[in-house]
């Protein structure tokens, strides 16, 4: 079988990968492939999938999440999955090197979540006093 496009590579990789993971994991991987990797790279011929093309897409995923507040929070995992698939292509000798190997993944901006709740000194002393009054039971 001759593998020319990224979509063909993914199909071939999935046939092998599906035997190594649980069904739930496979469902998650397929979702990431169908929602992110295949729309981004599926039509690319493997010899045209270069580091700059991949870097541009990873930067776009990061921008969508970090600046626009939408997109996939775990975009570093998308890069990791892509790297694993392309490593498989190298092992099949379909491509000479992994173009995703040296991709720089932008830092993920932490979302502002709930403020951390803590006890001030006075309330902490009250709480510890209360605990000391409790009987020692196990």
Return d(Cα 27, Cα 35) in angstroms, integer: 12
Sign of the C-alpha dihedral computed for residues 6, 12, 16 and 19 taken in this order: positive
- Whether residue 136 lies inside any domain: the answer is no
Return d(Cα 134, Cα 42) in angstroms, integer: 64
Token pair 């600046």: residue: 67
CATH code at position 16: 1.10.150.130
The domain total for the chain is 1
- Whether residue 133 lies inside any domain: the answer is no
Question: What is the reported pTM?
Answer: 0.76
- Whether residue 121 lies inside any domain: the answer is no
- Whether residue 129 lies inside any domain: the answer is no
For residue 116, pLDDT beyond 90: no
Give the residue numbers spanning the domain of 73: 6-111
For residue 114, pLDDT beyond 60: no
- Whether residue 33 lies inside any domain: the answer is yes
Token pair 């932490």: residue: 110
């Amino acid at each position: 079988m001759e593998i020319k496009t990224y979509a063909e590579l993914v199909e071939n990789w999935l046939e092998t990968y599906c035997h190594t993971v649980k069904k739930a994991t496979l469902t998650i991987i397929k979702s990431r492939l169908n929602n992110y990797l295949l729309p981004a790279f599926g039509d690319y011929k493997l010899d045209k999938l270069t580091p700059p093309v991949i870097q541009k897409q990873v930067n776009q995923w990061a921008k969508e999440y970090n600046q626009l507040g939408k997109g996939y929070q775990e975009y570093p995992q998308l890069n990791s999955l892509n790297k694993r698939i392309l490593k498989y292509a190298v092992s099949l000798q379909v491509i000479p090197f992994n173009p995703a190997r040296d991709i720089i993944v932008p830092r993920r901006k932490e979302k502002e979540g709930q403020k951390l709740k803590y006890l001030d000194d006075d309330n902490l002393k009250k709480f510890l006093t209360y605990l000391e009054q409790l009987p020692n039971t196990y």
